[in-house]
């Protein structure tokens, strides 16, 4: 019988041979696997399934790090995905493994040119011409070399003009450079500086945004971008960009200092808007006044604060102050539709209906489809027409915002003052009677929610014309709604019996 120890000894002796066999089998599978990945990657690339194709070419490179075609195919996918930075190392690896691969060198030179790496691009183009290229490759290399010469000349001229402070010419030359060197962060940063000097801040911001992505760890681009947005009055975008700067360098002095200022201002503005939503208008006004103190030097924030204070005052029924603040804001931005609407509403509260109509008409020219403007204009016109007739608020001497208690108090005072029994002269008594009826009507309309709402919308509940054929005398003398049949004259020789309630 064979012992277990003897079998174990035999197995141990065979282990080296088994390892060799396993390694040989693995190499075969490995080789086949690379071919399969390459073939599958090509099919997926042709079908436009870039992410899946990339996965297969990754696997092919891992399986055979010396397979120059695997690197080349992967670079092709990266380019199709718009990832030129990732494609460059792969093309460099292809050229390292196969220096005579002119297509890869030509492609790399083209990418280097687009990134603004002119010297390296020139070197690739010249090496292509020396490597016995095909006719097509030779033509393309010569064309790119000519373009390189033009870009090199324009770059030198742009730097010279920038140094001489001819920013308009420099920016124009940089436009041409960037058409070719689309991924050149340095050219975009220089053009951004030209735009800043020319006062074209949004264009500068666009270039700096691109530069922040094209160049890694570009803290300066983020800082400049944040300050531009800040000076343009966009505190939220400014805060976003300065945070990106601090992510790259938490100790960046300029970014940290700017961050504290923007964060404080941003918090104040957000707090003010929350107060407006909560209808705490006076507190919102105080908060926006604090905004102006925090940043008195940036006009956009001062204007924003004025516009929002204007809105808060209108909502808080402080119409007199609102007209003043809104007018100041409109001096800086006369075509601001929102401020025009706010001032129009303030004018309505002040009973300056003609001024309200002018503002609504100006706003309508700027935004003819705004429903609020149409409704506001109709309201202002109705109230103007109404004011030219009988105004119950004026009769009682109260504001449109008066509460019921104020209305009743004013009514009592005036009813006692104009009670016809207080007058002996027939003419004076007759005038007092008319006045007294007006006072009674005013009290009845303004203390009745339904009637007051109609009046506030330009309809006189006591006017026969407004009631479209309703019997006015029956409506009034038969008893006011809610008045329990109140009649100011009672019967007989005008014995006035009324109840002040």
Token duo for residue 175: 């436009």
Report residue 167 as tokens.
Answer: 């920013």
Q: Which residue has the higher pLDDT, 500 or 174?
A: 174
Q: What is the mean pLDDT of residues 168-196?
A: 96
Residue at 317 is within a domain:
yes
Residue 54's CATH number: 1.25.40.10
Looking at the fold, whether 83 and 121 belong to one and the same domain comes out as: yes
Q: Are residues 289 and 436 in the same domain?
A: no
Do 214 and 335 lie in one domain? The reply is: yes
Residue 466 has a pLDDT of 57
- 6 in a structural domain: no
Average pLDDT over residues 462-468: 64
Is 492 a member of any domain?
no
Answer yes or no: is 10 within a domain. Answer: no
Are residues 130 and 245 located together in one domain of the fold? no
Look at residue 449 and tell me if it is in a domain. yes
Q: What percent of the chain has pLDDT over 90?
A: 74
C-alpha to C-alpha distance for 439 and 303, rounded to whole angstroms: 45
Regarding whether 218 and 126 lie in a shared domain, the answer is no
Q: Tell me what pLDDT residue 401 has.
A: 87
Query: Where is the domain boundary, 387, 407, 426?
Result: 387
Residue 453 shares a structural domain with residue 366 = no
462 vs 160, which has greater pLDDT?
A: 160
Q: Is the pLDDT higher at 461 or at 30?
A: 461
Query: Are both 437 and 319 inside the same structural domain?
Result: no
Q: What is the pLDDT of residue 287?
A: 97
Q: Are residues 248 and 303 in the same domain?
A: yes
146, 170, 185: which is the final residue of a domain?
A: 146
226 and 366 co-located in one domain: yes
pLDDT in the model for residue 235: 94
In a domain, residue 5? The reply is: no
pLDDT tens for each residue of 1-21: 445 455 444 554 544 444 333
The residue among 146, 179, 213 that closes a domain is 146
Residue 204: the pLDDT is 96
Look at the chain and report how many structural domains it folds into: 3
Residues 334 and 353 placed together within one structural domain of the fold = yes
pLDDT in tens, 307-333: 999 999 999 999 999 999 999 999 999
Residues 455 and 415 in one domain: yes
Q: What's the rounded mean pLDDT across residues 453-465? A: 80
For residues 29, 32, 36, 42, the Cα torsion angle rounded to the nearest 10 degrees is 140
- With CA atoms as reference, report the closest residue to 448 among 418, 414, 411: 411
Both 307 and 406 in one domain: the answer is no
The pLDDT, as a whole number, for residue 458 is: 76
Nearest residue to 255 (alpha-carbon basis) of 271, 267, 243: 243
Q: For residues 431 and 392, what is the distance between their CA atoms, to the nearest angstrom?
A: 17
Distance between CA 316 and CA 207 in Å, rounded?
A: 44
* pTM score: 0.66
Domain containing 410 equals 397-477
- Higher pLDDT among residues 6 and 72, named by residue: 72
Using the predicted structure, report yes or no on whether residue 493 has a pLDDT greater than 60: no
**pLDDT recorded at residue 491:** 33
Is 55 part of a structural domain of the chain?
yes
Q: What is the domain-level CATH number for residue 422? A: 1.10.287.110
Summarize the confidence of residues 356-380 as an average pLDDT.
95
Residue 501 has pLDDT above 80, yes or no: no
- Give CA–CA dist 262/226, Å, rounded: 9
The single residue listed with the structure tokens 């429903």 is 371
Each residue's pLDDT tens digit, 196-215: 999 999 999 999 999 999 98
Q: How far apart are CA 176 and CA 462, in angstroms?
A: 75
Asked, for residue 173, whether it belongs to a domain, the answer is no
């Amino acid at each position: 019988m064979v012992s277990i120890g003897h079998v174990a000894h035999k197995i141990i002796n065979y282990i080296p041979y088994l390892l060799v066999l396993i390694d040989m089998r693995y190499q075969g599978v490995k080789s086949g696997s690379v071919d399969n990945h390459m073939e599958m990657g090509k099919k997926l690339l042709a079908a436009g399934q870039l992410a899946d194709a990339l996965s297969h070419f990754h696997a092919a490179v891992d399986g055979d790090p010396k397979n120059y075609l695997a690197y080349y195919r992967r670079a092709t996918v990266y380019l199709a995905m718009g990832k030129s930075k990732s494609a460059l190392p792969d093309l460099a690896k292809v050229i390292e493994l196969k220096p005579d691969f002119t297509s890869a060198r030509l492609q790399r030179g083209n990418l280097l040119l687009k990134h603004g790496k002119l010297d390296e691009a020139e070197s690739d183009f010249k090496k292509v011409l020396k490597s016995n290229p095909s006719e097509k490759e030779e033509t393309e290399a010569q064309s790119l070399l000519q373009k390189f010469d033009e870009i090199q000349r324009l770059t030198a001229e742009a730097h010279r003009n920038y140094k001489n402070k001819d920013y308009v010419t420099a920016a124009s030359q940089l436009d041409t450079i960037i058409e070719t060197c689309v991924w050149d962060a340095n050219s975009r940063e220089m053009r951004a500086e030209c735009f800043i000097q020319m006062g074209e801040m949004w264009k500068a911001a666009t270039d700096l945004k691109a530069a922040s992505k094209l160049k890694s760890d570009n803290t300066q681009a983020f800082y400049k971008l944040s300050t531009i947005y800040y000076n343009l009055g966009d505190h939220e975008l400014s805060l976003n960009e300065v945070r990106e700067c601090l992510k790259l360098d938490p100790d960046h002095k300029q970014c940290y200092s700017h961050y504290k200022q923007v964060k404080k201002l941003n918090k104040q503005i957000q707090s003010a808007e929350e107060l407006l939503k909560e209808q705490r208008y006076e507190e919102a006004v105080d908060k926006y006044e604090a905004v102006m103190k925090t940043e008195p030097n940036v006009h956009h924030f001062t204007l924003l604060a004025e516009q929002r204070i204007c809105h808060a005052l209108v909502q808080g029924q402080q119409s007199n102050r609102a007209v003043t603040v809104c007018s100041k804001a409109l001096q800086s931005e006369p075509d601001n539709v929102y401020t025009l609407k706010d001032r129009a509403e303030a004018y309505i509260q002040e009973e300056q209906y003609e001024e309200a109509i002018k503002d609504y008409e100006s706003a309508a020219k700027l935004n003819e489809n705004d429903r609020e403007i149409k409704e506001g204009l109709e309201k202002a016109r109705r109230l103007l027409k109404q004011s030219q007739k009988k105004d119950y608020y004026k009769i009682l001497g109260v504001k449109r915002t008066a509460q019921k208690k104020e209305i009743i108090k004013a009514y009592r005072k005036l009813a006692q003052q104009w009670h016809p029994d207080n007058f002996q002269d027939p003419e004076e008594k007759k005038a007092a009677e008319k006045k007294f009826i007006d006072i009674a009507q005013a009290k009845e309309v303004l203390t009745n929610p339904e009637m007051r709402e109609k009046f506030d919308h330009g309809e006189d509940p006591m006017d026969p014309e407004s009631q479209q054929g309703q019997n006015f005398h029956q409506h009034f003398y038969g008893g006011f709604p809610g008045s329990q049949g109140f009649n100011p004259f009672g019967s007989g020789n005008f014995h006035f019996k009324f109840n002040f309630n």
